[in-house]
């Protein structure tokens, strides 16, 4: 039997699978939480219920959810017990490879999000920003919210293929080298600096200022590059 991680899915199923996976891993859907109904998820993601069902089948095979007859699907993924990457290629991605791909993706991703993003999506981005601004000392939780912020920007592009690709980038960002780096260097003062940058980025996105938003996303990439250089 072919391993689930190696199966090839249609673009729409992969989009739903990647989106739900990242919502679970980022703790938007926390451990033991009941997932929304298939109808709700289909409406939220703009896909058919059969597509959601296929994605849920894969998540169950991967041990990330469990189904209870008559009750729905519940998250079983435990972020404290799981150190294995969801995508095998992410485990082989080093810091330099990650930064190169982020540099290619994120400025264009922000530009497309500004063009296509709906007012409701901007509101959702603001909610995530508020959670980020509430973080003062919890570096790992701040990083998870930062990933969610970027994921929401990706979803705002209205491009399922780009979302699927960027979900892989997020998976690579969760590798041990980055977690260790942040535990050492993401101090309260550095968190505060990132918060100011993300606040400015959000304001630029809300104002649909492509040039300003691109400048701030490049600044964020530069800050990450500085941290990586300190690890050398």
- pLDDT(13) > 60: yes
The pLDDT tens digits of the residues spanning 105-123 come to 999 999 999 999 888 889 9
215: burial class by Cβ within 10 Å (0-12, 13-18, 19+)? middle
Of the candidates 16, 19, 23, 32, the residue with the CA atom closest to the CA atom of residue 65: 32
The pLDDT tens digits of the residues spanning 21-76 come to 888 887 788 888 889 999 999 998 999 999 999 999 988 887 789 888 778 899 98
Output 222 or 212, whichever has higher pLDDT.
Answer: 212
The residue with tokens 């960027």 is 166
pLDDT at 69: 76
* CA 148/CA 153 separation, integer angstroms: 9
Q: Give the H/E segment covering residue 67.
A: strand 65-68
Provide the token pair at 15.
């989009």
Helices and strands per DSSP (H, E), number in the chain: 11, 2
- Where does the pLDDT of residue 168 fall: very low under 50, low under 70, confident under 90, or very high at 90 and above? confident
């Amino acid at each position: 039997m072919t391993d689930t991680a190696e199966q090839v899915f249609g673009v729409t199923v992969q989009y739903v699978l990647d989106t739900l996976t990242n919502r679970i891993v980022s703790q938007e859907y926390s451990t033991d939480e009941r997932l929304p109904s298939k109808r709700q998820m289909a409406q939220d993601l703009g896909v058919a219920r059969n597509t959601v069902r296929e994605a849920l089948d894969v998540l169950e095979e991967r041990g990330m959810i469990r189904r209870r007859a008559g009750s729905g699907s519940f998250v079983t993924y435990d972020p404290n017990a799981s150190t294995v990457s969801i995508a095998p290629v992410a485990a082989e991605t080093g810091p330099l490879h990650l930064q190169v791909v982020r540099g290619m993706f994120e400025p264009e991703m922000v530009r497309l999000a500004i063009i296509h993003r709906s007012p409701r999506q901007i509101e959702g981005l603001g909610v995530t920003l508020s959670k980020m601004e509430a973080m003062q000392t919890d570096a790992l939780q701040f990083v998870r919210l930062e990933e969610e912020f970027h994921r929401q920007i990706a979803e705002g592009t209205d491009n399922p293929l780009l979302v699927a690709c960027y979900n892989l980038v997020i998976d690579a960002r969760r590798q041990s080298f980055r977690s260790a780096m942040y535990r050492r260097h993401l101090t309260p003062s550095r968190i505060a600096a990132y918060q100011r940058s993300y606040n400015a980025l959000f304001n630029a996105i809300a104002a649909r200022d492509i040039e300003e938003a691109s400048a701030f996303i490049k600044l964020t990439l530069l800050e990450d590059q500085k941290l990586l250089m300190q690890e050398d």
